Amino acid sequence: VIFFTFTLVTHLIAAPFYGFLAAKVERQATGREPLDDRGLAKTAVDALGRELVKLGYILPRMVALFIISWIPGLNLLAPL
């Protein structure tokens, strides 16, 4: 639980910076500027929104697995 929570929070914090990292890598690899005319704030908000969508997908499944792991008999199916 700690590992998954740490990973989710880390990705949520780092998400706004992934676009800038990708732009620098593309600039270094190809020598051209990426075709992204969005500003700093728009890029950060978009990245944060994508991470929240991922969190919305993962969180209900994580809660369901947590509940299943506490029910005797069903907890044998939780790893599957």
- The DSSP code sequence of 18-45 is HHHHHHHHHHHHHSS--S----HHHHHH
Residue type, 32: R
The confidence score (pLDDT) of residue 5 equals 80
Range(s) of the domain holding residue 63: 2-76
Higher-pLDDT residue of 61, 39: 61
More confident residue, 37 or 70: 70
**What is the number of structural domains in the chain?**
1
As a whole number, mean pLDDT of residues 31-43 equals 75
Over range 26-50, report the average pLDDT: 80
31 backbone dihedrals φ, ψ, rounded to 5°? 80, 5
Tell me the helix, strand and coil percentages in the chain, rounded to 5. Answer: 75, 0, 25
* Dist CA 21 CA 2 (whole Å): 27
Res. 38: pLDDT tops 80: no
What integer pLDDT is reported at residue 60 of this predicted model?
Answer: 92
CA 46 remoteness from chain centre? 12
